[in-house]
């Protein structure tokens, strides 16, 4: 079983600030750091560091070549990443404000992530087969075509619908096997606003009865639901430094646990430990731990 992550690759510009800039305000930052990032890259790094055979597909500009080295360092195969000419697109990027509480807000520029073609998707998907995993987020274009192709081939499709927008509603969501999403995203797909995990997972399952739902709940941990059962998982408390890649770390390690045949309970626990380590460190991809670090973390049982 192989894991294909068809996702974004970004250059992250992270500004350390006292508070998030307000309308009309000019704010000086305490520091600027440039990191690799993008939900796609972060999740591939998490998958690779968790020990999975992971392949990344996507597009970058000439300015993003160092992102390939980041993926390779996590043992991720980059043979399906397309490098565009400067005249076509520059690499996607993110402007991230990181405040003194460790929270962040993010402004995205799609760049090469929005230059995926159907021909590129066809060439990538033909290298995978029934039972392989496809991981998707919403930071690239051509999602509908990719979902249709993968479903036809019998791949298991995991969707993290972030950032949530109308593109997600245009997908055939009945073809998604696993949803990994937060309360806001679940509310938008379910069609009503709520912070009640029980209500949200029930609504998701009414719309997609064959799907499996993983709902991340911030400080309240996470939960899993399918047509027959529900499972809750708490968080591991640590000093928060930067939350940028917490969700992507959670997704990668949860998928790793499931792919190994672990129980949902074990996979959620593994993901909770990994994301706790990630938020205790600065940066996006650089904050993601290895499997060895997670196993040796010494969190209470």
Contact of 114 with 161, CB cutoff 8 Å: no
CATH at residue 132: 3.40.1190.20
Does residue 236 sit within a domain? yes
For the chain, give the percent of residues with pLDDT over 90: 87
Task: Average the pLDDT over 216-233 and give the result.
Answer: 95
> What pLDDT does 301 receive?
58
> What pLDDT does 284 receive?
80
Does residue 176 sit within a domain? yes
Is a pLDDT exceeding 90 seen at residue 2?
yes
Is a pLDDT exceeding 80 seen at residue 300?
no
Residues facing residue 95 across a β-bridge: 13, 107
Burial of residue 228 (CB within 10 Å: 0-12, 13-18, 19+) is exposed
Q: How far apart are CA 272 and CA 177, in angstroms?
A: 22
Does residue 102 sit within a domain? no
Tens of pLDDT along 127-172?
A: 999 999 999 999 999 999 999 999 999 999 999 999 999 999 999 9
Which pLDDT band, with edges at 50, 70 and 90, does 298 fall under? Answer: confident
Q: What average pLDDT does the chain have? A: 95
Task: Average the pLDDT over 257-274 and give the result.
Answer: 96
Does residue 142 sit within a domain? yes
Does residue 156 sit within a domain? yes
Does residue 104 sit within a domain? no
Which pLDDT band, with edges at 50, 70 and 90, does 118 fall under? Answer: very high
Q: b/e string for 173-192 if b means 16 or more Cβ within 10 A?
A: bebbbbbbbbbebbbbbbee
Contact of 100 with 124, CB cutoff 8 Å: no
Total of domains in the chain: 1
Tens of pLDDT along 40-49?
A: 999 999 999 9
Q: What are the strands of the beta sheet with 31-37, ordered from one edge? A: 31-37, 10-16, 92-98, 104-109
Which pLDDT band, with edges at 50, 70 and 90, does 266 fall under? Answer: very high
> What pLDDT does 243 receive?
85
Alpha-carbon dihedral sign for residues 216, 224, 147, 85: positive
Q: By residue range, what is the domain housing residue 168?
A: 3-7+39-86+113-295
> What pLDDT does 207 receive?
96
For the chain, give the percent of residues with pLDDT over 70: 99
> What pLDDT does 1 receive?
87
Is a pLDDT exceeding 80 seen at residue 57?
yes
Does residue 53 sit within a domain? yes
Is a pLDDT exceeding 90 seen at residue 101?
no
Is a pLDDT exceeding 70 seen at residue 113?
yes
Does residue 19 sit within a domain? no
Instruction: Outline where DSSP puts E strands in 38-163.
Output: 54-60, 76-83, 92-98, 104-109, 133-136, 156-159
């Amino acid at each position: 079983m192989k894991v294909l992550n068809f996702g974004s690759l970004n250059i992250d510009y992270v500004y350390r600030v006292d508070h998030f800039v307000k309308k009309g305000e000019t704010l000086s930052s305490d520091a600027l750091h440039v990191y690799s990032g993008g939900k796609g890259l972060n999740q591939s790094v998490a998958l690779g560091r968790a020990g999975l055979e992971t392949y990344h597909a996507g597009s970058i500009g000439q300015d993003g070549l160092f992102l390939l080295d980041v993926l390779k360092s996590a043992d991720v195969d980059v043979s399906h990443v397309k490098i565009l000419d400067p005249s076509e697109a520059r690499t996607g990027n993110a402007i991230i404000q990181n405040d003194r509480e460790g929270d962040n807000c993010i402004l995205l520029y799609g760049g090469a992530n929005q230059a995926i073609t159907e021909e590129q998707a066809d060439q990538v998907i033909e290298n995978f087969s029934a039972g392989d995993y496809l991981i998707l987020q919403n930071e690239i274009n051509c999602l509908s075509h990719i979902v249709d192709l993968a479903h036809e081939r019998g791949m298991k499709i995991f969707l993290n619908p972030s950032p949530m927008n109308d593109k997600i509603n245009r997908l055939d969501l009945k073809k998604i096997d696993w949803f990994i999403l937060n309360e806001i995203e679940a509310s938008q797909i379910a069609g009503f606003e709520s912070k009640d995990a029980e209500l949200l997972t029930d609504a998701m399952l009414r719309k997609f009865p064959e799907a499996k739902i993983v709902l991340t709940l911030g400080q309240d941990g996470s939960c899993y639901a399918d047509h027959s059962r529900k499972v809750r998982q708490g968080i591991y408390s640590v000093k928060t430094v930067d939350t940028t890649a917490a969700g992507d770390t959670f997704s990668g390690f949860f998928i790793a646990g499931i792919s190994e045949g672990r129980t949902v309970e074990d996979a959620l626990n593994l993901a909770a430990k990994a994301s706790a380590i990630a938020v205790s460190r600065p940066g996006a991809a650089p904050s993601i731990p290895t499997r060895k670090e997670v196993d040796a973390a010494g969190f209470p049982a």
